[in-house]
Amino acid sequence: MNKKLLSFVRLINLLFSRFAPKLTQKKSSLLTFTFHGLFRNENERTLNLVDPRPWITIDDFRSFVEYYLNHDYLFISPDDILNCLKDDKKYISITFDDGYYNNQYILPLLNEYKIPAIFFISTNHVKHNKCFWWDVLYREGLKNGMSLDKISYIKKQLKKQTTEKSENYLKGLFGEGIFKPLSDIDRPFTLLELKNFSKDKLVFLGNHTSNHDILTNHSSTEIKSFILHAQDFLYDITGIYPKTISYPNGNCSNEIIRISKEIGLKLGFTVEFKKTRLPIDCSIDDCMRMGRFDFYGYEERNELIKQCEIFQSDVTLSNWIIWILSKSM
């Protein structure tokens, strides 16, 4: 039922964005997009080494960039945001969550188009060379005959736990050794790879906590510890403390924002499906509650372009409904 309703809402949103310009005029704003892993081609998607739904191919990423460049958007860095964006232009900010090794495949495109991106790193995954638990659940669940609905249900339940408890649960379910990467598809950066990657002038590293713990599940002391450990780890790699944080799973609160600002972070990103209106008022924490769009899956080649068209429109209610339905599937 959700899938049919989602398709209907997408259609309504697309029609509004195309045929109701007075309602969907593209006002000056910042669109921020979140990506995760990258497939070099569609064949890698079918290997089932990772949960493929939030991933995108390199060719799709090129289509995304060219669409917005052709519609007069400027791709900007976190420093550009903090230095106050002019409110007579349209902007795009690119973010990648988690710290997958395959994120480096995007570097040639960033340099080709001269566009920056923020890469939010879960530092313990780099430090210990371990897979992310949701990928392990997907991979091992399919191997053991679980339905996608069952995998989705377990994933939702594990998000209520600490990362350590989630990992231990999966070890008990599938056996020891399941967090060892199987290929370049499912592994995080190594320390040396991340250090070399960070040297590119278009790459900005951001804080994604030390172990991808969902911060709203934890005490203030734990929250501060998770963020600080990631800050120190990334400083040791780059010599620069990150200015940005992506809250794992998008979960944040006033307390999490207070702690983040106290530590010295200047920009905070959720996963709320919304534009950022200009000008941005950081005095009321607008900078710490930035919304982001992601691509919610597609079955045909031109679906990505349809979504690009929808996201730049101002039909925010429909976008919100799409986000809710896509996350529940």
Q: Look at residue 64 and tell me if it is in a domain.
A: yes
Which candidate, 184, 304, 327, 198, places its Cα nearest to that of 250? 327
Print burial letters for 282-299: b (CB count within 10 Å at least 16), e (below 16). Answer: eeeeebbbbbbbbbbbee
User: Which residue, 115, 145, 179, sits at the end of a domain?
Assistant: 179
Tell whether 124 and 267 lie within a shared domain: yes
Lowest mean pLDDT among 21-30, 62-71, 125-134, 313-322: 313-322
Summarize pLDDT for 83-98 with one digit per residue, the tens.
988 888 999 999 999 9
290 in a structural domain:
yes
pLDDT exceeds cutoff 50 at 35: yes
pLDDT of residue 50 exceeding 80 = yes
Is residue 306 one of the residues assigned to a domain?
Answer: yes
Q: Are residues 36 and 145 in the same domain?
A: no
For residues 77 and 148, state if they share a domain.
no
Residue 7: the pLDDT is 53
Whether residue 14 lies inside any domain: the answer is: no
The pLDDT score that the predictor gives to residue 22 is 46
pLDDT at residue 26, rounded to an integer: 53
Q: Is residue 22 part of a domain?
A: no
Domain housing 277: 27-130+187-312
Average pLDDT, whole number, for the chain? 88
Q: What is the pLDDT of residue 14?
A: 52
Angle between helix 58-70 and helix 303-311 axes, rounded to 10 deg: 40
State residue 4's pLDDT score.
54
Give first-to-last CA distance, the chain, whole Å: 10
Q: Are 66 and 91 found together in one domain?
A: yes
241 in the same domain as 113: yes
Q: Are 151 and 141 in contact (CB under 8 A)?
A: yes
CATH number at residue 192: 3.20.20.370
pLDDT at 318 > cutoff 60:
no
For the segment 192-213, what is each residue's pLDDT rounded down to a tens digit?
999 999 999 999 999 999 999 9
Q: What would the two tokens of residue 10 be?
A: 């997408």
Q: With pLDDT > 70 as the criterion, what percentage of the chain qualifies? A: 85
Predicted confidence at residue 311, as pLDDT, reads 85
Number of domains making up the chain? 2
Q: Are residues 287 and 206 in the same domain?
A: yes
